[in-house]
Structure 1
Amino acid sequence: MTDPSLAAALEKADGTLDASLARLFELLRIPSISAQPAHAADCARAAEWLRAELSTLGFAAKVCPTPGHPMVVAHDAADETDMRPHVLFYGHYDVQPTDPDTLWDAPAFDPYEKTLEDGRRVIVGRGTADDKGQLMTFLEACRAWRSVSGRLPVRVTVLIEGEEESGGANLLPFLKAHAEELRADIALICDTGMADVRTPGITTGLRGLVGEEIRITCATHDLHSGLYGNAARNPIELLCRALASVRDGQGRVTLPGFYDGVRVPDEATRAAWRRLYPDDSGLLAPVGLSVAAGEDGFSAIEQTWCRPSFEINGISGGYEGDGFKTVLPSRAMAKVSFRTVPGQDPQAIRDAFRAHVRALLPADATVSFASHGASTGFAVPEDGPFLPAALQALTDEWQVPAVTIGSGGSIPVVAEVEEALGMASLMIGFGQADDRMHSPNEKYDMQSFHKGIRSWIRVMAALAQARRPA
């Protein structure tokens, strides 16, 4: 029998979708780029916008300063007699920089709706999928519940960060300093996606990240390639050799000990993923590719969901302007990253990479490194009390069996919530593989936004009936 309050909340979400979109567009128009100091005031404005919005929903909401950009914290009304399960919802209001701006079809902070060739309606603009559209699905679900029953099915604490896209250095200290205030039965993390365009999923595995910047220097200054070519070391050549040697011909990373502790998923899990992605085109075709380029023996989706990786994210040196210049550069630089999985040691990987590069350098070449963060891969326990209830709620909404999936991305908040608060997480999001997060023309499907609101309405109702942890 359907709970009449649940049915009423779902109906309310449907009937007020236009107003929900209008609020999302307001938030999307704020250029809250946390990595750029020029937008510090915009980050503060986004935090205040969310505080005010949460206040209208009946939360006791506040903006909390940090050494960087502020956090937003909000609490549902409760007292010591309130026995509802307690959830901590996490999202982030900051967004990535927009460059190159010339590749956007419209200004990045002037969101608009469009129809894709396959008929999907989408919202285009920076932050639509990562993470403003996602976090607003939860807030709008809270609005629907409040409007029809006056209270939420579960106790809710909201934490919205402003530095996720620029390293999140202040999140863990903030969690530790406010542990008593933020601790709940389960954390709900919205910064994830669906298994495919039709299949909802809860992410139970994440990859971590090791970021490195490497700079090789040879001569004291740039040289004329005719006068010094052959005789002088070329740092771009040395850099390319070093980076190319990190992978072998089978796509495996060559660093000693790199695969120590790495586990292959069981066959049942791999079979479930093959049903979602029968061949590599399901992941690669939408981005114009056709052949998996990583490790032999693993499908494209396995390579992103459960295997560690090495990638070159940027490289520069010498003359890069228009036209041609016969220069022999004195320096070359690259930014590289390793995606780690549970069982790997990020610091050991960093040390092994640096040792690998140093061992390949000849005389007259020096190298320096700069670290850009490190995090471990993370696996969420699949036997927690709330996971089955949330999966069923998603199944009920999408009318497709919800699945547990992996994620190639890194979401440090999951490990930090466990470390600081001793809490497990449910990672539930409605992003799609073609959302172009961090790229020009980022988008979020209208279906993801609408059914995302409805999904959170159902998830909150389901969690209210789930067995609380002892």
Structure 2
Amino acid sequence: MTLESVLTRIDESLPEAMERLMTLLRIPSISTDPAYKAECESAADWLVTELNSLGFKAEKRRVPGHPMVVARHEGPGPHLLFYGHYDVQPVDPLTLWDRPPFEPAIEEGPNGPVIRGRGSSDDKGQLMTFLEACRAYKDVTGTLPGNLTIFFEGEEESGSPSLIPFLEANRDELACDLALICDTSMVSPGVPSIAGQLRGMLKEEFTLHGPRIDLHSGHYGGPALNPLREISKLIASFHDEAGRVAVEGFYEGVAEVPAELKRQWEACGFDEAAYLGHAGMTVAHGEAGYSALEQQWARPTLEINGLWGGYQGAGSKTVIPAEAHCKITCRLVGAMEPGDVRRKLRAHVEARLPTDARITWDSDLDGAPAAVMDTSRPEFEAARQALSEEWNREAVIVGMGGSIPIAYYFKSILGMDAMLIGYANDDDAIHSPNEKYDVKSFHKGIRSWARILDRIAK
């Protein structure tokens, strides 16, 4: 009966919850622009005040950049940490916005009313779903729902420069039984999703050196080694005809998707044709034998992000360039280790260098393994059932093609798994003009967290 009372309270108090979100959205907390430092402070202060009013012990923590917000409520049950970020992306180009980005409003969208404004989906609307679920529990029961720590960051949209030192310095305080992360989306509209794995990342950049200087192509064309031609051969050698990465040992640590998880993915409502069509494609061009969803979530990649050399200006300049350049990123899955992949990639390149060519590598680029959660934990199934009940369709455990560093840092620094549960949609235009968050996502997101907490916070 307590859960039903909490859900009723959420429904009845939705207008007040929406106005609180609007208040937060009006604060232009753009973290990457120093001109908005005071506004980032204001957003952190607003959250501290709200959290304290709910019964948390909240405070603003100083770091070299924008402050962290940490709040604590001791209670029975497992210790859960909820993470979100209060900073937002810049709004440029401003001319493409239909309304001022920090004057949020409710508008009618093609699928129902939406909250329009910067940060509405990424991540203020998402983090407020959790706070409003806690508020409803407090209103109904007189106390917060369990043993909770809240952690809000103010630099996520500007590279999180203060995050790792803060986690390391506060490891004992922040390490919990499980983290809950709201900075994510649903796999398809109306399909509740829990991300259980995120791909890792390896960055590489190299220069292929040939002649001592740029050469006249009439005097040296033919005898001279051409770095652009040789780097093209190297690039072509990275993949076979089936789209598999041809670097020896690249797939060590990569496992196939378990049958039950693959079944969930196939039934999740993902529209492959629409996904590809959005990018102007008709077929998937990755590894043969895998769906676009598997290629995005569960298979590693080696992508060429930049390739250049020689004359780049207007007209023609008849030179053979002295060097050519390439930027690469690899998305990693499973147990792939960035350092191991880096060694294999470099060995592949250096074994194919012709006489008179040499390679220099950028030694300052980083890498991080995939974040793979233990989805066999009972909390994952409990949350999946709670989401299924709220959204009236089967929730799915999904992967993510990108990398959300906080999930990896929670695992590597704090030693805890994370459940990534958010209610955004792919058309929310995060980081873009006219960002929005569906009112349905906000409302059902609050109800979803109430159901999840009812199942896992005891």
Mapped partners of 2:438, 2:191: distance in 1: 14
Q: Which residue of 1 aligns with 2:63?
A: 66
Amino acid at match of 2:51: L
Q: 1:239-287 CA deviation, whole Å, 9 max, x = no partner?
A: 4443343222211111111111211012232222112257631532344
Q: Which residue of 2 aligns with 1:31?
A: 30
**More displaced 10-residue stretch of structure 1: 293-302 or 83-92:** 83-92
Amino acid at match of 2:418: S
Task: Give 1:413 shift.
Answer: 2.5
User: 1:200-349, aligned counterparts within 5 Å?
Assistant: 200-217=192-209, 235-277=227-269, 280-317=272-309, 324=315, 326=317, 328=319, 332-349=324-341
1:394, 1:458 within 8 Å by CA — same for their partners in 2?
yes
Q: 1:419-440 CA deviation, whole Å, 9 max, x = no partner?
A: 3333332221112234444556
Q: 1:215 to 1:12 in 2, by over 3 A?
A: farther
Q: Which residue of 1 aligns with 2:146?
A: 154
Q: Which 5+ residue runs of structure 1 have no aligned equivalent?
A: 466-470
Counterpart secondary structure, 2:26: helix
Mapped partners of 1:384, 1:110: distance in 2: 40
Q: 1:340-380 CA deviation, whole Å, 9 max, x = no partner?
A: 11121111112222233334444255433244432212322
Q: Which residue of 2 aligns with 1:468?
A: none
Amino acid at match of 1:343: A
Q: 1:54 to 1:83 in 2, by over 3 A?
A: closer
Counterpart secondary structure, 1:422: coil
Indicate whether 1:137 and 2:129 are aligned: yes
Task: Give 1:150 shift.
Answer: 3.5
Q: Which 5+ residue runs of structure 2 have no aligned equivalent?
A: none
Amino acid at match of 2:72: H
Q: 1:301 to 1:4 in 2, by over 3 A?
A: closer
Q: 1:361 to 1:274 in 2, by over 3 A?
A: same
Amino acid at match of 2:379: F
Task: Give 1:2 shift.
Answer: 6.1
1:310, 1:339 within 8 Å by CA — same for their partners in 2?
yes
Amino acid at match of 2:6: L
Amino acid at match of 1:158: I
**Which one of the candidate residues 366, 372, 397 is aligned to 1:373?**
366
**Which one of the candidate residues 421, 445, 454 is aligned to 2:447?**
454
Task: Give 1:140 shift.
Answer: 2.9
Counterpart secondary structure, 2:121: helix
2:29, 2:37 within 8 Å by CA — same for their partners in 1?
no
Q: 1:254 to 1:440 in 2, by over 3 A?
A: farther
Determine what percentage of the aligned residue pairs are the same residue: 43
Mapped partners of 2:358, 2:14: distance in 1: 64
TM-score w.r.t. the length of structure 2 is: 0.85
Q: What is the Cα-based RMSD across aligned positions, in Å? A: 3.4
Mapped partners of 2:454, 2:236: distance in 1: 52
Amino acid at match of 1:5: S
Amino acid at match of 1:416: Y
TM-score w.r.t. the length of structure 1 is: 0.83
User: 1:154-173, aligned counterparts within 5 Å?
Assistant: 154-168=146-160, 170-173=162-165
1:6, 1:461 within 8 Å by CA — same for their partners in 2?
no
Q: Which residue of 1 aligns with 2:181?
A: 189
Mapped partners of 1:58, 1:285: distance in 2: 48
2:204, 2:361 within 8 Å by CA — same for their partners in 1?
no
Mapped partners of 1:281, 1:426: distance in 2: 28
